[in-house]
Structure 1
Amino acid sequence: MSINALYTDLSGYYDLMCADIDYPAQSLGIQRLHQLFGNGGRRHLDLACGTGPHIRHFLNLGYQCEGLDINQPMLDVAEERCPEAVFSVRDMCEFRFDSPFDLITCFLYSIHYSDGIEKLQGCIESAHQALSANGLFCFNAVDKTRINNNLYVSHSARHDGSEFTFRSGWHYVGSGERQSLRLSIDRTTNGISESWQDEHPMVALSFRELATLLQPWFDVTIFEHDYERIVPWDGESGNALFVCVKR
């Protein structure tokens, strides 16, 4: 099944697919970083917002939120979840807004959905332009040089009489600027099983390369991928939080 088919036809199952994600902890973790590094403003934009679970928590924390995504069925769910927020179908690699934001987020490694280094640079420049003075851009990323193609994460859930198993893992061939996120969904209903396989092409780069792209626009600090504690990146782990203050 193609990328668009997976996310369009199964957008109603997206929250189930992400049921093991601790959205409150992630949102609170970024709020703490915003308190430490931000400019005190409360206007928030979430890139690749999906069905809006992070935005829901930021609204509850007192932010004024907007979200963008390329998938309208996802945004239909987000609008029901977050009627106070504003959503729009836009490409996160090239966007403009009339009013600036104080915090821009991009969760769940979605920064890698940029189609190549040039597109990723467009995302970085768009975020810089959309931020107010000393605004904050926060996202998580994976280092291509530390990807283990044999590692996967999986979880199971029951929904509407069906048993689902979701599985995902990074894959990198070892060279170039392309990596992929491999996904599989198995559904069993009344003893009948169906399976979807998908592979999402994503941009691949090291943390050193990513920091180099960011530094003309932002002051960059890299932290461990830990939303419970604020810990500097150890230089070894392959997942990290990037905290970027607009120059």
Structure 2
Amino acid sequence: MRHLFSLRWFGLITSSSNALYTDLSGYYDLMCADINYESQSHCIRRLHQLFGNQGKRHLDLACGTGPHIRHFIDTGFMSNGLDLNQPMLDQAKLRCPEAEFSLQNMCNFVVDQPYDLITCFLYSIHYSGSIENLTACIRSAHAALKEGGVFCFNTVEKGLINNNSFVRHSVEQDGSHFVFQSGWFYEGEGDKQALKLSIEKTTNKVTEEWHDNHPMVAITFDELKGLLEPYFEVTVFEHDYEKLELWNTQSGNAIFVCVKR
């Protein structure tokens, strides 16, 4: 199973006395340096063209520092963002001065005007933390969409998680070498899973390490469809931003495309 860093709202527990990552807004882009934001944004625009109402008003939930929003704006969308972390939103505003950003929880957000497309990238939908909160997020997205609007996000199937599978990437910045690692962990029952994260920073041959387990909601795709279908027509695609293929029922990652009923 493929994994991807999802570091929207994350306060690391550090083994060092220096809490370097107390405010992650300055490190977020570094952690996500290997993500192809352009490809992801292009894929979701294609899905919106196929399933949506052709409108251009777009809201990105858990937007972080706004890289997806930048790509949507550059292709003609009127995009805004929402996040729980104000320093992240401050960085997003610098990247996307045309956009409006709102400090809100995606599980109970409200909007002034409805949107044509709502996105939630990088598995951030799992930050809802519980089935109850996830259901509230779905209701909020439904209420915030125009008729024929699309809610689109990627997600992981709890029953197909491999606890021994991790991804790593490294990057150099300001004379330091960083190594990032992430992987899902599910105990095998219940609606709780974790995103296990680790960061190494080496400067002048001295290495510091930070570790964290992010609590996330765990759900099967069938359970998720059951939550969505009272509000949306649901189509599930393979987690491949380069080509559009319906989910094969075997892979543990998927893109959910949900059209407002």
Normalising by the residue count of structure 1, what TM-score does the alignment of the two structures yield? Answer: 0.97
- 2:63 partner letter: C
Question: Paired residue for 2:103?
Answer: 89
Match of 2:29 in 1: 15
Query: RMSD between aligned alpha carbons?
Result: 1.2
Contact 2:11 2:24 in 1 (8 A): no
Contact 1:3 1:199 in 2 (8 A): no
Query: Does the 8 Å contact 1:109/1:139 carry over to 2?
Result: yes
| Equivalent residue pairs, number | 246
User: Are 2:68 and 1:54 aligned?
Assistant: yes
Q: Which runs of 4+ in 1 moved over 4 A?
A: 5-8
| Per-residue deviation, residues 197-232 of structure 1 (Å, max 9, x unmatched) | 011100000000000000000000000001111100
TM superposition shift of 1:10? 2.8
Structure 1 CA distance for aligned equivalents of residues 55 and 25 of structure 2: 32
Runs of 5+ consecutive residues of structure 1 not aligned to the other structure: none
Secondary structure at the counterpart of residue 126 of structure 2: helix
Aligned to 1:240: 254
Tell me which of 65, 76, 82 is aligned to 2:90.
76
Q: Which of 24, 29, 52 in structure 1 is aligned with 2:43?
A: 29
For the 8 Å contact 1:8–1:71, the answer to whether it is kept is no
Residue 11 of structure 2 aligns with an amino acid whose one-letter code is: N
2: CA distance between counterparts of 1:35 and 1:87?
25
| SS in structure 2 of the partner of residue 4 of structure 1 | coil
Give the one of 216, 219, 232 matched to 2:230.
216
Measured in 2, the distance between the counterparts of 1:3 and 1:233 equals 30
Structure 2 letter corresponding to 1:66: N
Q: Which residue of 2 aligns with 1:115?
A: 129
SS of structure 1 residue aligned to 2:155: strand
Is the contact between residue 8 and residue 73 of structure 1 (CA under 8 Å) also seen in structure 2? Answer: no
CA distance in 2, matches of 1:22, 1:222: 21
Q: Tell me, in whole angstroms, the C-alpha distance in 1 between the residues paired with 2:50 and 2:232.
A: 16
Quick one: which amino acid aligns to residue 45 of structure 1? Answer: L
Superposed CA deviations along residues 158-194 of structure 1, whole A, max 9, x for unmatched, are 0011000000000000000000001111001111111
Q: Does 1:146 align with 2:160?
A: yes
Q: Could you tell me whether the CA contact under 8 Å between 1:43 and 1:63 is conserved in 2?
A: yes
Which position in structure 2 is the counterpart of 1:4? 11
